[in-house]
Amino acid sequence: MSEWTNERAIERWGTMPRKLLEDMAHDGDYAKRHLVNPVLLRLLGDVAGRRILDAGCGGGYLSRMLAARGAEVVGVEPGRSLFEFAAEREATAPQGIRYVRADLCDLPDLCDLPDLCDRFDAVVSSMVLPVIPDWTGAMRACVEHLRPGGLFVFTVNHPCFEQLAPTWRAHGEYRTRRYLAEYEIPGPSGANFHRPLSAYLNQLAALGCRLTEVAEPGLPPETPDAVEAYIHLPNFLIVAATTA
């Protein structure tokens, strides 16, 4: 773990191939479509006219979904290929989304953007905190960019059931040997880092947030091509909280 820095993690994520970004451009991948997006949209509520920061927006699919529903969206993304893909989509099919290439732990003053101050009605950060070595700094930045009473929603791979689908395929059940320590989970696009569930929730409390909902979505069994593991166990943890 100690050899990881934000810069190194960003460099690795920033090489994500264009084909993968194109495949996810509309509404993400299978798991996002069936498990994450419906909960995120429900928790964010009616976004029309609301200012939303998509913190770690990747190729920008969620930013585009929110802008299509009337939100004023700023997407922050430091990875080169992801940022370029999101910006290119905005250039070819403008929705008024502003993209900023930056590390969440080192955000420029967003007030420099035309018509924008640095306080948002909502900050959404989907599958981002688990890829950032300095995740506590990133979570702090998310909360600090909310207006008083603003909504923070984040998603992570469920820390109790990481690598759920491949483990289930191999054993017909979920197995793990490690939980309490922080460790790296290498992936094809970049590294993820396991941290216990309590780490995320306690950091939220330390930042003065009030937890409003924790969701552990499961797949309805009647879903076409249902992944069996996702019917029985939650692949994601989705947390909503508000600032004081």
- Tell me, what amino acid is at 5? T
Total binding residues toward ligand SAM, as defined by CB under 6 A: 24
Q: How far apart are CA 136 and CA 206, in angstroms?
A: 10
* Identified binder of ligand SAM from the candidate list 65, 67, 87, 138, rule CB under 6 A: 138
Tokens 């008024």 correspond to 96
Q: Return phi, psi of residue 145, to 5°.
A: -95, 10
* Identified binder of ligand SAM from the candidate list 71, 78, 87, 143, rule CB under 6 A: 78
Do 2 and 203 form a contact (C-beta atoms < 8 A)? no
Is there binding between residue 154 and ligand SAM (CB under 6 A)?
no
Is there binding between residue 75 and ligand SAM (CB under 6 A)?
no
Is there binding between residue 90 and ligand SAM (CB under 6 A)?
no
Integer CA distances (angstroms), 177 to 81, 167, 174, in order: 35, 12, 11
Residue 15 vs 221, nearer CB to ligand SAM: 15
The interface region with ligand SAM, picked from 50-58, 87-95, 161-169, 200-208 by CB under 6 A, is: 50-58
Q: How far apart are CA 152 and CA 143, in angstroms?
A: 7
* Identified binder of ligand SAM from the candidate list 72, 77, 90, 162, rule CB under 6 A: 77
Is there binding between residue 21 and ligand SAM (CB under 6 A)?
no
Is there binding between residue 63 and ligand SAM (CB under 6 A)?
no
Is there binding between residue 110 and ligand SAM (CB under 6 A)?
no
Residue 61 vs 152, nearer CB to ligand SAM: 61
Is there binding between residue 104 and ligand SAM (CB under 6 A)?
yes
> Rounded to an integer, what is the distance from CA 142 to the centroid of its chain?
11
**CA angle 31-133-27, nearest 5°?**
20
- Tell me, what amino acid is at 90? E
Structure tokens at 80: 């080169």
Q: How far apart are CA 4 and CA 90, in angstroms?
A: 32
Integer CA distances (angstroms), 12 to 84, 184, 186, 204, 242, in order: 15, 14, 11, 27, 32
Among all residues, whose Cβ is closest to ligand SAM? 58
DSSP 218: -
Residue 43 vs 127, nearer CB to ligand SAM: 127
* Identified binder of ligand SAM from the candidate list 44, 82, 191, 237, rule CB under 6 A: 82
* Identified binder of ligand SAM from the candidate list 37, 47, 50, 58, rule CB under 6 A: 58
Structure tokens at 164: 């759920």
Residue 36 vs 233, nearer CB to ligand SAM: 36
Task: Tell me which residues touch ligand SAM (CB under 6 A).
Answer: 6, 9-10, 13, 28, 56-58, 61-62, 76-79, 82, 103-105, 126-128, 131-132, 138
